[in-house]
Structure 1
């Protein structure tokens, strides 16, 4: 067994995911990037995207949401939720039975839905988990026959939403002392269910 930066490494060709390092027989030298990319590939395969199933998961999701969105701003517990939680669809991303990402969808009107509280733990960001969560919410919105989705996003993540097809409307504004903007997504007619 070898060690890089204090992490145990098994022999080449084996995978030690619990140590977050995977080696292949193809390389004899390992860079931090190689090790990170291998961990990334393993983590993405093990992520489960689904709805909240019970009150314990709901409370765990609220804590995860607070850790990502409110704790870095010095805000207390309780500020991560609002009065709309009970009427919303909550999607979570699970890795090893732990909530590492979450997002919420709720109807604002018959045609308009709101995506909010998209939150991924920092160590799981930039791995496609946020994309999977938003795509799950888009699918749920289509099932609910919503025509448009709106998200109020921090301006530093606008490109993430643009890549998913959201278009910014209006000017940026301050919310919680951070710059935010509204973005909209038009659901393709093919995704919307036909009701008689």
Structure 2
């Protein structure tokens, strides 16, 4: 695989990937969430093409991952893993103590590889099962 360039991007850059991967049958506006204007958005580029996006929303000393998506033809190539590793490295250099997300139940093992543990019972959002997951960064 060619080298991966991970950097911060704008919400305008992130939205089309979110829409295509996460909610292709909904309007693109469905892929916007409260806080997008102040969140940190990350993108992974291969040959200058944006192929993976993730957004981090800060609340005091807690970081929440939302809207994490990799284009289908790039899935299974560790691109998403590299993005999470990059984000966790950035967060460990900040005053953030906790990293959390609402993970699709189908992605549970992916997040467990980064030390996240599930909490509580599965819940539904728009017909998809999720689990709350988190890890201490300290």
- What's the TM-score bracket when you normalise by the shorter of the two chains? over 0.9
1:121 CA displacement: 0.4
Q: How many residues are treated as equivalent by the alignment?
A: 138
Q: Distance in 2 between matches of 1:153 and 1:177?
A: 14
Q: Distance in 1 between matches of 2:59 and 2:108?
A: 22
Q: Distance in 2 between matches of 1:144 and 1:80?
A: 27
Rg: which structure is higher? 1
- What SS does the aligned partner of 1:79 have? helix
State the TM-score, normalized to the length of structure 1.
0.67
Query: What are the ranges of 5 or more consecutive residues in structure 2 without an aligned counterpart?
Result: none
Q: Aligned-residue CA RMSD in angstroms?
A: 1.2
| 1:63-116 deviation line (CA, Å, top 9, x unaligned) | 011100110xx111111111201211111011121110010112122x211011
Q: Which structure's residues are more often strand, by fraction?
A: 2
Query: What are the ranges of 5 or more consecutive residues in structure 1 without an aligned counterpart?
Result: 1-41, 190-196
4+ residue segments displaced more than 6 Å:
none
- What SS does the aligned partner of 2:23 have? helix
Query: Are residues 1:66 and 2:19 paired?
Result: yes
Query: What does residue 76 of structure 1 align with?
Result: 27
Relative contact order higher in (CA < 8 Å, ≥ 6 apart): 2
